[in-house]
Structure 1
Amino acid sequence: MKPWMMGVAFAALGMADASGGSALQAQVAQADGWVAWQVPMVADAGAPSCFSWRRGRPAENGCDLDARDWNFGTDSKHPLHDSTLAVYAHVAKGRIDRVRAVASACRVESAGAIRRLDAVMPAQSVALLADWLADTDAARNDDDSALAALAYHADASATRAIATRAEPGHAGEEREQALFWLGQTRGVDGVDIVEHYARTDADPDVREKAVFALSQSHAGDPYARIRAISRSDRSGHVRSQALFWMAQMEDARALTDITAALAGETSDDVREQAVFALSQLKEGQAEDALTAVVRGDYPRETKKQALFWLGESGSPRAIQALDEVLAERTPAR
């Protein structure tokens, strides 16, 4: 996406009303302790909740707002069906110092009473969280939780608020988290923004993180976007990472595309990573791909790497392939 087009896209997404954020801030700051409100939750991104593991399976067990470590997740196999997000802000001495957000159906607990606010406008909620993240004087220690809370807001202004955190000038880790949530929860609009940074950012580390963020998305054919980066990025490391994530995405196009990249690459390091990417394909497909490399017209070092990963596989199919290759190269007595 061209820079001027990206600017238009950002503008179209809109920004939350700053005065609305201030009005909500005044309500929130009226008393210390936990205060909560609800807003519509973004669709198709799962319902965030707190889980524990029981016999190898996640079990929803409620969230302790007062816990020092805050972790949540979504369970795609046993989803919590909810369309409403509950946002929790902790106030100390009249200022927010912690933010939490989970699906409204998720049970929460706290040592103190939770004050509830009614009829909060989604844009106000976005504006409050965006202002809190932008406030360099705020006493906070969980920016990641606030960014995640923004990510699950259905309101379109949340996309722009998160995108602001991905802009150059912010710390690398903050940009990485913003790119992740844009790809994970913000649909095609978010993916477009992530792709913009994956293609154009001056920092190869940011481009690499943007490629990962694309790989975690399910909107706007992220595989095709990563494939294009694997063919064009000026950094061999970024191209290598693109090939790796292509293999992880379980896309039917990956075998052909990674094999083509291996044949066309001039970088020894990227070729090595392309062989590794082939080894990451699903069982059966990986062994066949590596065997084809061993038997194909590739540099000797590339063939050695394919043999190594065949050996590491240890699957019956890999062992059979190794036996066949050795038989082909062993002179008859």
Structure 2
Amino acid sequence: MNKSSLPCMLVALGALAAPASAADFAADVMREDGWVGWHVPLVDGVRAPCCYGVKRAAPLEAGCDLDQRIGVFGTSDGDLRRDTELAVYARVVHGRIEGVRAVGASCPVRAAKPIRDIDPVGPGRSIDLLTDWATGPRSAKADVDAALSAIAHHADSRATRVLATLAEPGHAQEMREHALFWLGHARGAEGARIIEHHATTDADPDLREKAIFALSQASGVDAYARILAISRSDRSDHVRGQALFWMAQLDDPRAAADISAAVAADASADVREQAVFALSQLDDGKGEDALIAILRGAYPREAKKQALFWLGQSGSPRALQALDEVLAKAGSASR
């Protein structure tokens, strides 16, 4: 090869690496009807999404039928896929995008007609196109979540910035909730920081409640400690009660003691009731232990009645033994 030709070749390769402009990329996507696909780096620290069926109560990878949406789209605790690339698919109808799916590059996909591949695509171009589509006029609720899921799984810092913007007041409530969820699911510690800001400052208690759930999904931070603080400080009884519920779902060894403390100390009867229910949700016998401790400890009478109810719902031998003890003690006291 002539050395003088090398710069020209590099320029040509650079031109192939990504469309010259956002408009060029959008035109390339929408120039033909049907499914079009491209690949971008997948964000670290998340399981690659795919589609799953269920067999004998266990998730079963089914692959994704882009036309029919067969199977449950998401991730599975049993999914061992460790893709480094995200495959993004857009359905074009009459020169407009009508649907988006994004899965791990190794997730099997199928469609009635061949999928047009337009690689290579820069992640920034991909995020911009998906953002424009997500914020444009649309009727199907699933479309917003599909677009934000795709954005969230891009290994590009712009994805976090876009989701943070869409979570701000001024956007539709549904958009904000979806943005917060995906910040928690896929954007690590920075996403958690953004969620916590909304969970502790937003004027809307419904939004704060949704933010707590999103925070419970976050990685890279002590989400439990942050939700515990909200359970003690939020001005809404309902939000404090929901924080206690999500604390119970995190399988944290601190949960039984902290939630029991709320049973004893929260000023709201509704929150105390929610706290007892949260205790009943603890796994591996911890819930039964905590409820039995409520029966035997210095807790409000209503809390003891609720603990009795949830122990009765359990039906385990230990729960029934505790109920027998309570009934025997009540019988002795009445004599």
Q: Distance in 2 between matches of 1:61 and 1:97?
A: 23
Moved more, 142-151 or 282-291: 282-291
Contact conserved, 1:132 with 1:138, CA < 8 A, in 2? no
1:245 and 1:31 map into 2 onto residues whose CA distance is 46
AA partner of residue 287 (structure 1): E
In structure 2, the residue matched to 1:133 is: 134
Question: Is the contact between residue 211 and residue 242 of structure 1 (CA under 8 Å) also seen in structure 2?
Answer: yes
Are 1:31 and 2:32 matched, yes or no? yes
The whole-number CA distance in structure 1 between the counterparts of 2:204 and 2:269 is: 22
**Identity in percent:** 59
Within-5 A mapping of 1:1-333: 20-67=21-68, 71-136=72-137, 142-331=143-332
The alpha-carbon distance between structure 1 residues 64 and 157, as it changes in their structure 2 partners (threshold 3 A), is same
Quickly say closer, same or farther: Cα 1:298–1:139, change in 2 above 3 A. closer
Q: Over aligned residue pairs, what C-alpha RMSD do you find?
A: 2.1
Q: Give yes or no for contact 1:97–1:138 (8 Å, CA) kept in 2.
A: no
Residues 284-306 of structure 1, C-alpha deviations (whole Å, 9 max, x = no match)? 22222112212222222121111
CA separation of 1:157/1:75 partners in 2, compared to 1, >3 Å: closer, same or farther?
A: same
Matched residues, number? 315
Following TM superposition, by how much is the alpha carbon of 1:58 offset from its aligned partner in structure 2, in angstroms? 2.3
Secondary structure of residue in 1 paired with 2:36: strand
Which structure would you say has the larger RCO, counting Cα contacts within 8 Å and 6 or more residues apart? 1
What secondary structure, in the 3-state scheme, does the structure 2 residue paired with 1:193 have?
Answer: helix
Tell me: CA distance 1:126–1:316, structure 2 relative to 1, closer, same or farther (3 Å).
same
Q: Which runs of 5+ in 2 are unaligned?
A: 1-19
Task: State the alpha-carbon separation in 2 of the partners of residues 310 and 118 from structure 1.
Answer: 58
Partner SS for 1:282: coil
**Distance in 2, Cα, partners of 1:284 & 1:325:** 19
Q: Deviations over 1:266-321 (max 9, x none)?
A: 11110111111111112422222112212222222121111111111111111111
2:94 counterpart letter in structure 1:
K
Matches of 2:287 and 2:117 in 1, distance apart? Answer: 54
Between stretches 83-92 and 286-295, larger displacement belongs to 286-295
Q: Which runs of no fewer than 5 residues in structure 1 stay unpaired?
A: 1-18
The 1:68–1:117 alpha-carbon spacing in structure 2 relative to 1, beyond 3 Å, is: same
Pick the structure with greater CA Rg.
Answer: 2
Distance 2:248 2:119 in 1: 47
In 2, Cα distance between the equivalents of 1:239 and 1:189?
Answer: 24
Which stretch has the larger CA shift, 128-137 or 218-227? 128-137
Which whole-Å CA distance do the structure 2 matches of 1:78 and 1:68 have between them? 19
1: CA distance between counterparts of 2:85 and 2:55?
27
What amino acid is the match of 1:306?
A
The two structures have a TM-score, normalised by structure 1, of 0.89
Cα distance in 2, alignment partners of residues 228 and 24 from structure 1: 46
In the alignment, the residues of structure 2 paired with residue 292 and residue 139 of structure 1 have an alpha-carbon distance, to the nearest angstrom, of: 48
Tell me the SS of whatever aligns to 1:330: helix
Between 1:165-174 and 1:271-280, the stretch displaced more is 165-174
* 1:75 to 1:329, Cα distance in 2 relative to 1, 3 A: same
Return the letter of the residue paired with 2:95: G
Q: 1:138 to 1:89 in 2, by over 3 A?
A: farther
Cα gap change, 1:299 to 1:186, in 2 (>3 Å): same
How far 1:162 sits from its partner (Å)? 1.6
Contact 1:97 1:140 in 2 (8 A): no
Deviation string for 1:189-243 (max 9, x for gaps)? 1111111111011100000001111112232111111000000000000000000
Per-residue displacement from partner, 1:66-91 (whole Å, max 9, x unpaired)? 11567412122232221110101112
Letter matched to residue 312 of structure 1: Q
SS of 1:100 mapped into structure 2: strand
